[in-house]
Amino acid sequence: MERFWSWCLTRPRLVLLALSLAALLPGLATLPPLDRDESRYAQATKQMLETGDFIEIRYQDEARNKKPIGIYWLQAASVSALTSPPYDQIWAYRLPSLGAILLSALLVYAAGRALFTAEAAFIGAGLAALTLIVIGEGHIAKTDAALLACVLAAQSALARAYLARNTAARPWGDVLLFWGGLGLGILIKGPVGPFITGMTVLALIAWERRAAWLSSLRPLAGAVIAALIVLPWAIAIGIATDGAFYRDALLGDFGGKVTGEAERHGGVPGYYLMLTAATLWPGILFLLPTAIAASRARSEPAIRFLIAWAVPVWIIFELVPTKLPHYTMPLYPALTLAIGWALARAFARRDDWRALLSHRVSVVLYTLVGLTLASGPIVLTQLYGTPNLPLDIALTAMLAMAVLGTAAIAWRTRLRDALLCACGTALLIYAVLLQGLVPRLDALQLSPRAASFVKEKGWDGSAPLTVSGYAEPSLVFLLGTQTRLLSGKEAARTLIADHQGTALIADKEAGDFLRTLSEAGFRAEEQGTIAGFNYSRGDPVHLTLYRVLPPPH
């Protein structure tokens, strides 16, 4: 282990990239388009490629005035370079997220090198790259992985400026990284990135009663850099939508999340803290002793910076009514860097964890989450897939043994061995679940199965498919922008007006659909059925494909 560890420390960036790719590549192409946010982002990007309009953001005929343009441009570049019409390969839309996580791993390491030793930086970056929530977002075609990279760019430059503790102008590389990170963060997710960096700065100023060091980041030149990044599109979208984008995005989307539980995504204060054992896994194995050590070392500038980064924004997120697990993800590198600092101290025998109750509690939390993940092959195939009991038992046993083995090593405070085993176990679990398990969960893949089903039954895409009772964005992405999502009565009336057509109808809308057709003298020939589980709503769904025929003459 010592020799392998030394080898890793001599080439940290290469190891971090390899580690990230090993966690991100499984499942990237085999995971179906996810509902609802991923498929909405992908469909909006797809429509940009279809129409050539790269200013306005639309989902079918509806203006999608929620997030700025950045992620759509990144996805459009990836998809246009690597695929061809009809642009329905979801893996190509996910590549910007994968690239952002790779970049984030390197930026965490860069921030760690400014704050601590190379060993501490390497540990912090490696754990950040393997964190469960980070791996999840790295597999999804939406904004949060890219936002993480932007925040880390700004925070790494800010860390170097803060620790320099003088007003001498920073190198232009740091200036570009800081202000470029802020500007690109605005293009990705509006004010969220600057808010995190701004709260870090305000916390440090309030703590130390000094702000002169900020001038080292060349604020006048930096403001010009950020403006050059943001203003061209910001002006264009304002003109194109007559200001509607800003009304909807700031007052509707952002304002609604701050003042209420937007889209029923709510939670009590403490929500993120309670989720940390899962979202920070496997890093939770070392978190509690780290928190105690960091609280005692809060007078150290590097630790103070991490506290200013994580704590104020975390408290605000706990108080905001709208909550989703990934909202605190840009704060997690501060936690993993603190873990890296604490473990490096323990490796050097400057701290002794053997008698710490907090260490035992961390091991228990790690084990509970790990065993829950390990149970996936048995539990999820029973609920949503086709079980293969011998295989599922073998996979679950293998994953559980890896988790328990890591926990046993950590319990005996063999910390470096525990760290390496925790990383290896995480890679194994991610590969088994994302590449081996998810493709077998047929019931959860209703949209891909429905799209394949209607094509097998003869629908060739020359006319829009009419769908009623199942309106998930993933189906629109797979079937095409012109897919018509209507009620049962509206679907029947539309096909009556067309004089014929094909419709995919859920059972709950079938009565109205067939009744309206019958009243007009039209017939509906059943072509087949397909069933699955709509995880966005938590409901089973049964769809029937009909061919609508006009009245006989």
CATH code of residue 476: 3.30.110
Q: What confidence score (pLDDT) does residue 356 get?
A: 82
Domain annotation covers residue 262: no
| Shared-domain flag, residues 120 and 228 | yes
Domain annotation covers residue 170: yes
Q: What confidence score (pLDDT) does residue 260 get?
A: 60
Cα gap 256→253, rounded to integer Å: 5
Question: For the segment 152-174, what is each residue's pLDDT rounded down to a tens digit?
Answer: 999 999 999 999 988 899 999 99
The beta strand positions in 55-164, using DSSP E, are 58-59, 62-63
| Shared-domain flag, residues 522 and 452 | yes
- Cα 120 to Cα 68, 109, 301, 338, 393: the distances in Å are 35, 9, 15, 8, 38
| Shared-domain flag, residues 515 and 418 | no
| Shared-domain flag, residues 366 and 510 | no
| Shared-domain flag, residues 514 and 430 | no
Note whether 105 and 17 are within 8 A (CB). Answer: yes
Which of 392, 424, 442 is the last residue in one of the domains?
442
What percentage of the chain exceeds 70 in pLDDT? Answer: 98
Mean pLDDT of 203-214: 95
Domain annotation covers residue 351: no
Domain annotation covers residue 349: no
Q: What confidence score (pLDDT) does residue 99 get?
A: 98
Maximum separation of any 2 CA atoms in the chain, in Å: 92
Separate counts of helices (H) and strands (E) for the chain: 25, 7
CA-wise closest residue to 444 among 363, 359, 384? 384
- Cα 93 to Cα 51, 233, 481: the distances in Å are 17, 21, 16
Q: What confidence score (pLDDT) does residue 262 get?
A: 56
Can you tell me whether residue 320 is helix, strand or coil?
A: coil
Can you tell me whether residue 32 is helix, strand or coil?
A: coil
| Shared-domain flag, residues 387 and 508 | no
Q: Which residues lie below 8 Å from residue 424, measured CB to CB, with a gap of 6+? A: 402
Label residue 190 by pLDDT band (50, 70, 90): very high
Note whether 127 and 282 are within 8 A (CB). Answer: yes
| Shared-domain flag, residues 384 and 460 | no
This prediction's pTM: 0.96
| Shared-domain flag, residues 122 and 237 | yes
Cα gap 360→413, rounded to integer Å: 10
Instruction: Report how many domains make up the chain.
Output: 3
Q: Which residues lie below 8 Å from residue 213, measured CB to CB, with a gap of 6+? A: 161, 162, 164, 165, 166, 167
Domain annotation covers residue 511: yes
Q: What confidence score (pLDDT) does residue 191 get?
A: 95
Question: For the segment 265-302, what is each residue's pLDDT rounded down to a tens digit?
Answer: 778 999 999 999 999 999 999 999 999 999 999 999 99
pLDDT at 312 over 60: yes
Label residue 372 by pLDDT band (50, 70, 90): very high
Mean pLDDT of 57-80: 96
- Structure tokens, 285: 């194995």
Mean pLDDT of 524-528: 95
Task: Give me the domain span that covers residue 404.
Answer: 357-442
